Amino acid sequence: MKEIKITTEFNAFDNIQDLPTSVQLLMEEAIKIRKNAYAPYSKFKVGVAIKLDNGEIVLGSNQENAAYPSGLCAERVAVFYAGAIYPNAKILTMAITAASDTKQTTTPIPPCGSCRQSIAEYEIRQETPIEIYFMGEVGAVYRSESLKNLLPFMFDKKFL
Q: From the annotation, which residues make up the binding site for Zn(2+)?
A: 73, 112, 115
Q: Which of 75, 123, 127, 137 is catalytic?
A: 75
Binding site per annotation, positions: 62-68, 73, 112, 115
Q: Is 3 a catalytic residue?
A: no
Q: Which of 98, 150, 91, 155 minimizes the C-alpha distance to 126?
A: 91
Q: How far apart are CA 76 and CA 119, in angstroms?
A: 8
**Rounded distance between C-alpha atoms, residue 142 and residue 15, angstroms:** 9
Distance CA 48, CA 115 (A): 12
Rounded to whole angstroms, the Cα distance separating 32 from 14 reads 20
Q: How many helices (H) and strands (E) does the chain have?
A: 3, 6
How many of the other CB atoms lie within 10 Å of CB of 18?
13
Q: Any idea which residues carry the catalytic annotation?
A: 75
